Structure 1
């Protein structure tokens, strides 16, 4: 326990960095995921193909590989971002593929008549998705989006492999200094658990508040 108490500020900084990394990536993943989901249900074949290609590409390549590519390969072709920003972009792009599938399931749960009614009053397909279908779809997929957010929180730990100073990276540095892996990594694991439990409780609360009564 002395390792934890002695290095508590360092571990707290790592936890805050993890939370910031998760929140920024979540915003990006949700924004991209909605666009990809809309493309996947679009009547335009080329958009559907592009959306499907995006999902298949990111879901079938491990996140660690994407992190290594973005951090080490992109600078080789002149594309350079700060390390933390690179991790945010990579996580957002990767998790957006899962977010898109969650949102698409919500879109498919909205009655076909809703979109038809929207078009009958003069809305275009894009406007029908934006104002009628997607808002209802998002209300229907609060729990799946919460599950993706929990997975995203866990995946932030992989950013430590490319040098991002977050909770796992901080815990590893403390362990190297103190050589007490059990209390250090158990403490880090409990911190991750606290974050994910909070997300789960918040998701349940939001789901009850925005539930669509059919």
Structure 2
């Protein structure tokens, strides 16, 4: 009987194979981290946005509200069951939209524009969080608990980015901080498109298990 294909891979190729198996889960978790960071940065800097665009006190939280509504709607609208289907393309598009939303906020000329941009930003973040989370889960890192740990780490990284934004504002201003989010989102879109497979079947071939 012919030995399984995996046992026929040369021993010196094992490290490269393990790296390839880890890549989809790690880059999907990074994509989640960027989306969580988008939410945290918006929450921490919403008053800076309002002050910078001369918003009235009663409307200063509108960008955060628009972001939150967009995130919740998009996350709930993203299918959580069934085949992933074209995960590479839909995830990369969502991350591209996340980068554009951050850029729109960074360049917002008026407060009303910022509110609309924040809503689009939230939709892209919600879509990214839901889809990238499904990719991390489908990769089944270890016995599956590793996938949970990766998503938890992504959330913590996002919160840390929000806290860090408070220290970055004196250096770059709130517009500059959203510019940094643009850079992070572009990198996430690039690597997500490069390493995440198109569907469930291809992702299972990249199954990440501790041995």
TM class, shorter-length = 0.3 to 0.5
Which has the bigger relative contact order, CA under 8 A and spacing at least 6?
2
The structure with the greater share of residues assigned to helix is 1
Please say which structure displays the higher CA radius of gyration.
Answer: 1
What's the TM-score once normalised by structure 2's chain length? 0.34
